[in-house]
Chains A and B, each alone.
Chain A
């Protein structure tokens, strides 16, 4: 019995001491190093710009490629291999992904294999805010963990520049952000010329056309950036509407995510909607170039802006999209994304 209690106390002491050590390690770094505050308001520091980066957050991964830091990526989230849309896009960006050479220490939003991740010896890990246990564990090991959310346009911009700081690409980040501000200004100028602001009803993918997004969501942000307003007025993130309510609201436009607009045109009860009669149902596809959790939200904004307010002097939308994609990924890749 005595042996048992002494062993137990020894184990407990070991447990305590290791967390102290990692705390001290971080403090040493903090003295002369590169630091940012991430979305959980934790100070994240690296001694020098990160060279081995594991990104378990797909939008963060995208950001790294846009910043030109893709060669530093050594680990990606598993959904890049599993989801055909993502795999097609990323295969074009990085050959290693096409050949399935990059490690994937995670399997979906909840299942991160800590061991394989640590074995990769990363100096920076980018994670989505949902994986609280993974974040804690990794920080205890003394690894720099940057937590991303990208749930509003403002946050998308902040987090892009913070990743840039951590990986040493501040100049490039500034370039991108200046460019996106230009685009947003152009869109705002065009919107100002319109007599009325139009409304948009957004429907989620997978045929759940009565599942929409409220006023506090990233969807709302790109609707506003596009110069329209969200017809849903509640703050609930993903409410379901009664079809009657939708008919009553009669939105000017309907925007779908990666869904065939036929699904809307076929519904008998929606025939009376002005959006259906004027054929103003727009589909955001291919989903990769419209991902609102990255700076590509401006592509979404510009696409919608040009679709709902067509003007005679407009360049075709595809040209505008190419311009932005070229800025973000380079001319060669930009063409392949929209094929």
Chain B
């Protein structure tokens, strides 16, 4: 399969969003009904009476639209952050959770749900950022001119373990109601999307993505190696810090808004890389577009298949893994 021309991707989000607006679990109203609603909204042809029209409008504007937007943003954020980190660590096996973010955020949410002191999403964001800070602190060695990346991964594992232990303690001491709330939050809660969540998430994610977009060419340099960067007169240290900060903002906001969606940030960059190649000038924007669209596609499936909500993380694996396997088998990869 030839590398896809990247300019086909840009109309994709709008198409996906449009289609997703028509899809939903309502048993009495079908996608065709919603299309008619759209026609009525634009042209005024009276297919539905006023009350029914308002009901459908309410569903589209207040239920579907925020969820679609949030899903797209979270998908884009996770995929792009994963791509950035894979470049930084020169390791295609990392995703943004390797820095300890997911464990920190889960711990923060559990703490908030248990003690009711902050909203769980805000608490998750704060502790996610703390986790990354701790990881970097542990990995930093004074006498080395820059932080070794192996040390960062090891510290990430330690920090993850610490926060997971904390999470387990909280779960152990909680009563069944709180425990249920904690478990449900951690599994992923896109179905609780609201305009408020969208408002909180849009600014940090846009900042994170804009920063990663600006750095897309420099990621090529970083991916060659730290010494290779110094060889051409660039000090990689500040750029590494900036990259980690951007990735943290993207991922923490995603986890705070939607819970933990495992492995999406790991395999999505691979899929994109197989389609557009390793050059980050193309893969970063592609990750934004395809990452958002694919998660939206998966969410559409989960909405349509069952009346009751199942966490999206389950579907990302059930649907993402076969697609990934298919690409793995059919593409020539040039891994060294």
Contacts and interface: CB of A to CB of B under 8 A. Distances in A.
Interface in A78-118: 79, 83, 107-111
A110 B58 CA distance: 44
| Residue from A109, A206, A244 whose CB has the most chain B CB atoms within 10 Å | A244
A244 B64 CA distance: 8
A208 interface: yes
B173 A108 contact: yes
Q: Is the interface of B mostly helix, strand, loop or mixed?
A: helix
B184 A241 contact: no
B27 interface: yes
A178 interface: no
Interface string A267-288: 1110110000000000000000
A255 B25 CA distance: 23
A268 B192 contact: no
A143 to B, nearest CB: 24
A244 B113 CA distance: 26
Contacts of B91: none
Contacts, number: 83
Interface in A211-240: 211, 234, 236, 238-240
| Interface magnitude class on chain A | 20 to 34
| Interface magnitude class on chain B | 20 to 34
| Residue from A239, A243, A271 whose CB has the most chain B CB atoms within 10 Å | A243
A83 B58 contact: no
A287 to B, nearest CB: 10
Interface stretch (B175-183, B231-239, B243-251, B321-329): B175-183
A265 to B, nearest CB: 14
B8 interface: no
B26 A248 contact: yes
Nearest to B181: A206
Contact of A271 (B58, B173, B176, B177): B58
A109 B176 contact: yes
A236 B309 CA distance: 12
Contacts of B25: 242, 244-245
B141 interface: no
B15 interface: no
Contacts of A206: 113, 177-178, 181
A191 to B, nearest CB: 28
B63 interface: yes
A104 to B, nearest CB: 13
A239 B308 contact: yes
A269 B181 contact: no
B145 interface: no
B200 to A, nearest CB: 15
B179 to A, nearest CB: 8
Q: Is the interface of A mostly helix, strand, loop or mixed?
A: loop
Given A248-B27, A272-B54, A240 B173 contact: no
A206 B174 CA distance: 14
A272 B55 contact: yes
Nearest to B58: A272
A105 B25 CA distance: 48
A205 interface: yes
B195 interface: yes
Contacts of A268: 58, 62, 194-195
B26 A245 contact: yes
Interface of A: 79, 83, 107-111, 204-206, 208, 210-211, 234, 236, 238-245, 247-248, 267-269, 271-272
12 contacts: A210-B309, A234-B308, A239-B309, A240-B191, A240-B309, A241-B309, A243-B63, A244-B59, A245-B26, A248-B27, A268-B58, A269-B62
Interface of B: 24-29, 54-55, 58-59, 62-64, 113, 172-181, 184, 191-192, 194-195, 303, 307-309
